[in-house]
Amino acid sequence: MFIVTVGATTSGYISAIKEMNLFFSEDIVVVARGVIVIYAFPIGGTLQENMVDRIKIVEGVETAVPMLFIITPKQEGVLQLIPTNVSIGIPSGNWSVLLGSTPLEPGGNWPSEDPNKKEVVIGQSLAAQFNLTIGSKTKIKNHDLNIVGILDTPSILLSRSIIMPLRLSQVVYGYNELVNMVIVKPSKGVTQEELAQKIEMQIGSVKALTCEERNEIVLPALSDIETWNLGIRAMLFFLNMILVANVATMNISERRRDFATLAAIGAPRNSIFRIVITETILIGLFGGLLGLLLGTVATLLLASLYTNIPLTLFLPSLFDIVSPIFMIEILAFTVVVSSIAGIIPAINAMRANISEVLRSEY
């Protein structure tokens, strides 16, 4: 149960973080110096919006698009935003820089550039959680926003995003003429590394991160998390082996007379070995199945608790959260470990002195 809960939850969050690497893979992300960047997105830090004009004049820059990426804390209102929910402001007409070819659900349209209209597009997960549809209204920081589109995407990040024109996001969140990232597309024939160096040399107050550099920032941390997850799993399987071995030893101790009697009437010694190993395999099989069931429920409860998303919304994507392959892998390991745990007790039972056991038991 614990292996499934920790493993599935950790793998889910690692996948969500790695998904960010898919954004702007061919572009350079420019942020203020000292800002932490998780793959493509900064945490904190701001730039003056006029920084975009300075970046555009750097030789080799084809386009430079400012963005405001905000992780919104939980707040009162229709949308109780939490760390897994984000608001993204981007100049109207530049939606493809972030979204690529991501479509909207039927009936939706992209927000108007006019911030007074207060139009936004939201992800499917937010729409389902708060029962929002195209034409609905939502309130963020005392601003009534009109939902004009819902993203049709499997992306974890985008499904939890509120996307709006840059000007509107600056008004809503109080970032007047500020952005926290600029997405720079190199001209044809110009490499990311060359252009990033030019930007940093000509504008000393920013750092320009290529896709490779952004990976270098996050990969060590993800590697440590994966190593920790593997270590926890190995430790739990080892404990499982010890517990099953103890159970098998107690079972054998309670049935010493039965095994001795079987051996005395001519049963092959290896039949005792097979009996013990079969029992430990069944312990692993039925215990593993029960652990999978309880672990999957615990994973859904933990995901619901952390994200504040109702549990019922996770049920349709149950096998995305805890994949069947992962379930089979854990069950197979549990059965194998349990069978190995029974080997030593089974050998001891098979080698027991029959005459001594019968003399002491009868």
Q: Degrees (nearest 5) of the Cα angle 113, 117, 120?
A: 70
> What Cα–Cα distance (Å) separates residue 38 from each residue in 126, 175, 197, 217?
22, 21, 20, 7
Would you list the DSSP string of 267-330?
A: --HHHHHHHHHHHHHHHHHHHHHHHHHHHHHHHHHHHHHHHT--GGGTGGGHHHHS-HHHHHHH
Beta-strand relationship, 47-48 and 178-179: antiparallel
User: Among candidates 98, 91, 162, which has minimal Cα distance to 130?
Assistant: 162
Question: Do 322 and 6 touch, CB atoms closer than 8 A?
Answer: no
- The pLDDT value recorded for residue 82 is 39
- The pLDDT value recorded for residue 95 is 93
pLDDT in tens, 294-350: 999 998 888 777 666 777 777 877 887 788 998 999 999 999 999 999 999 888 888
Residue 169: CB partners within 8 Å, gap ≥ 6?
Answer: 68, 70, 87, 88, 89, 175
Helix (H) or strand (E) holding 251: helix 211-254
Percent of the chain with pLDDT over 70: 94
- The pLDDT value recorded for residue 352 is 74
CA pair distance 299, 39, nearest whole angstrom: 26
Position of tokens 């207060």? Answer: 118
> What Cα–Cα distance (Å) separates residue 289 from each residue in 74, 191, 207, 218, 332?
37, 52, 51, 35, 10
Lowest model confidence (mean pLDDT) among 19-28, 184-193, 353-362: 353-362
Lowest model confidence (mean pLDDT) among 11-15, 101-105, 125-129, 275-279: 11-15
- The pLDDT value recorded for residue 75 is 44
User: Among candidates 24, 14, 16, 45, which has minimal Cα distance to 221?
Assistant: 14
pLDDT in tens, 34-81: 888 877 788 878 999 999 999 999 999 999 999 999 886 554 443 333
Q: Give the mean model confidence (pLDDT) for residues 111-139.
A: 90
Helix (H) or strand (E) holding 359: helix 354-361
Q: Give the mean model confidence (pLDDT) for residues 105-132.
A: 91
- The pLDDT value recorded for residue 81 is 33
Largest CA distance in the chain: 98
Lowest model confidence (mean pLDDT) among 132-136, 178-182, 226-230: 226-230
What beta strand segments (E) does the chain contain?
28-32, 36-38, 41-43, 47-48, 61-71, 86-90, 119-122, 137-140, 143-150, 161-165, 178-179, 181-186, 206-209
- The pLDDT value recorded for residue 312 is 78
pLDDT in tens, 146-183: 999 999 988 888 888 999 999 999 999 999 999 999 99
Residue 26, phi then psi, degrees to nearest 5? -105, 10
pLDDT in tens, 247-296: 998 888 888 888 888 888 887 878 888 888 999 999 999 999 999 999 99
CA pair distance 361, 312, nearest whole angstrom: 57
